[in-house]
Amino acid sequence: MLSKYDKELLLLFNLQRYEKEIYRSSGRFSYSIAMVRIDKDLKVEYFKGHVNCSN
């Protein structure tokens, strides 16, 4: 379909992880962002984003 319409697909990943502290009932969240581009020939390109960025 990408080739047929001469288009690219962009995927944005926003990952959230919760890390619980062992000796406490609390924890903290960490975030990561990344992007992937898939062209009409199905070549994949990965773009590293921020880690522990604010949401």
User: Mind listing the pLDDT tens digit for each residue in 9-29?
Assistant: 999 999 888 888 888 778 888
First to last CA, the chain: 33
pTM of the predicted structure, to 2 decimals: 0.66
- pLDDT(45) > 70: yes
Strand ordering across the sheet containing 27-38: 9-20, 27-38, 44-51
Residue pair 47/10 in contact by the 8 Å Cβ criterion: no
Quote the mean pLDDT of the chain.
Answer: 87
Nearest alpha-carbon partner for 12 in 40, 44, 34, 45: 34
